[in-house]
Amino acid sequence: MKLGMFMMPVNDHRRDTHTVLKEDVEIAVACDRLGFDEFWIGEHYTTLSEPVTCPFMFLSNLIARTTRMKLGTGVVNLPQRHPVQTAAHAALLDHLSDGRLILGVSPGGLVSDFEMFGVTDLQVRREMAGEAIETVLKLWSTEPPYDIRGKYWTLRLEDYHWPDLGVGAMIKPYQKPHPPLVASAMSPDSGGVRSAAARGWGVISANFVPVSTIKNHWQGFSDGCARSGREPGPADWRVARSIFVAEDDAWAKAYVRDPEGPFAHYYGYLVTLVRRAAFHAIMKSGPEMADEDVTPEYACDAFSVAGDPDSVAEQILALREEVGPFGTILMTATDCLNETHKAHQLASMRLMADEVIPRLRRALGDRAAA
């Protein structure tokens, strides 16, 4: 079992942008110091609550500040970038980080970004995302001259290809043939999960979906692997949850439900956002659940894992038993809000790394041996 941190981020938009970005970097650096295996950062252009506009830039800022953990784009929204930029920026980051990049990709996830970029149609975004990643892979696997024609982008580089100067060629990634590719998954019965599995990619199950949806993701992932003759394995599946660990079990459980706390802020923002975007069905425990029952309080209860180290380890093992054998558990970052909450978050991360993960590894090793 590996441990990672998934940071959208979701910051309080009323706070100073410079301050919250510095705190986000501080949390990322702490992940490496505590022994986290991975760190993931999102990409959003048009919200002060999620102010990281370029995951490549954010992760580049971490290279010299960290030593071991993998750096994941969580995710690059492919329709909102030219494929040449995606290919070039990812390859550069892969080199600068000595091959620590994991490239997470998606069709996008924020309605205000969709409107700003003029890509509000879901089917169009999916088509663009598919074409974009195919183009990126062609750029990484072939040499100029280029003549790549698609529905949304046409790439041509023939007249100014001067091999004696290196002009016209693009850098290839450090990792061969390219960095690992990972798709994000939110919807039940996701076709994207099956497609990702069939192509040899990994999958991240989002933290704000019910357990039944996560279980469907593993089933879809297994089906997609079978289509391509690939064996589905834990190493290719990551599950994100809101996790809080403290020495006192009862206090930890109460903390995630505190209406003034960071988890209430996180889900207060997220629930309001998806409800206004008419996308809140992904959070429902079932189709029979009423719209008005999708509340921050419901989300804190349904999507959080909280308690002392023994309790949290037991809950994660139970989740894994129910949904399938994911190989990485991703904590989800919240806003620090203030110094007191930041201290609680850092303490929770330390307990997760030092006490919960060793318990999980011992338990899973014992089960494998049995």
Does the pLDDT at position 39 exceed 70? yes
Annotate 100-131 with DSSP letters as a single string.
Answer: -EEEEEES---HHHHHHHT---HHHHHHHHHH
Q: What is the DSSP letter of 35?
A: T
Give the C-alpha distances (Å, rounded to integers) separating 141 from 25, 134, 135, 177.
Answer: 33, 11, 10, 8
**Whether the Cβ atoms of residue 255 and residue 246 lie closer than 8 Å to each other:** yes
Does the pLDDT at position 303 exceed 70? yes
Does the pLDDT at position 52 exceed 70? yes
Does the pLDDT at position 51 exceed 60? yes
How many whole angstroms separate alpha carbon 291 and alpha carbon 278? 10
CA proximity to 325, closest of 243, 226, 235, 193: 235
Q: For residue 67, what are the contacts with CB-CB under 8 A and spacing of at least 6? A: 32
pLDDT tier at 226, thresholds 50, 70, 90? very high
Does the pLDDT at position 141 exceed 60? yes
pLDDT tier at 367, thresholds 50, 70, 90? low
> Which position has the token pair 């023939």?
158
Section 190-211 average pLDDT: 94
How many whole angstroms separate alpha carbon 126 and alpha carbon 135? 14
Tens digits of residue pLDDT in 96-123: 999 999 999 999 999 999 999 999 999 9
As a residue count, the chain comes to 370
Mean pLDDT of the chain: 96
Section 305-316 average pLDDT: 98
Tokens representing 103 are 């490239």
Give the start-end residues of each E strand in the chain: 2-7, 38-41, 70-77, 101-106, 146-149, 154-157, 181-185, 202-205, 237-245, 304-307, 328-332
Q: How many CA atoms lie within 13 A of 21 on its CB side?
A: 16
* Residue 233 or 90, more confident: 90
Does the pLDDT at position 196 exceed 80? yes
pLDDT tier at 188, thresholds 50, 70, 90? confident
Tens digits of residue pLDDT in 57-89: 999 999 999 999 999 999 999 999 999 999 999
Section 275-303 average pLDDT: 95
User: First-to-last CA distance in the chain?
Assistant: 17
pLDDT tier at 250, thresholds 50, 70, 90? very high
Q: How many CA atoms lie within 13 A of 124 on its CB side?
A: 10
pLDDT tier at 317, thresholds 50, 70, 90? very high
CA angle 324, 78, 140 (to 5 degrees): 90
What is the reported pLDDT for 190?
A: 81
Annotate 179-219 with DSSP letters as a single string.
Answer: --EEEEE-STT-HHHHHHHHTT-EEEE-TTS-HHHHHHHHH
Section 27-50 average pLDDT: 98
Section 209-235 average pLDDT: 94
CA proximity to 14, closest of 49, 45, 42, 47: 49
- Residue 108, phi then psi, degrees to nearest 5: 115, 160
How many whole angstroms separate alpha carbon 192 and alpha carbon 184? 8
Tens digits of residue pLDDT in 151-183: 999 999 999 999 999 999 999 999 999 999 999
What is the reported pLDDT for 329?
A: 98
User: In b/e form, how buried is each residue of 9-38, taking b as 16+ CB within 10 angstroms?
Assistant: bbbbeebeeeebbebbeebbbbbbbbebbb
Section 263-278 average pLDDT: 96
**Whether the Cβ atoms of residue 235 and residue 180 lie closer than 8 Å to each other:** no
What is the reported pLDDT for 191?
A: 84
Tens digits of residue pLDDT in 356-365: 999 999 999 9
What pTM, to 2 d.p., does this model score? Answer: 0.97
What is the reported pLDDT for 152?
A: 98
Annotate 51-84 with DSSP letters as a single string.
Answer: ----HHHHHHHHHTT-SSSEEEEEEEEGGGS-HH
What is the reported pLDDT for 87?
A: 98
Does the pLDDT at position 189 exceed 90? no
What is the reported pLDDT for 368?
A: 56
Does the pLDDT at position 369 exceed 60? no
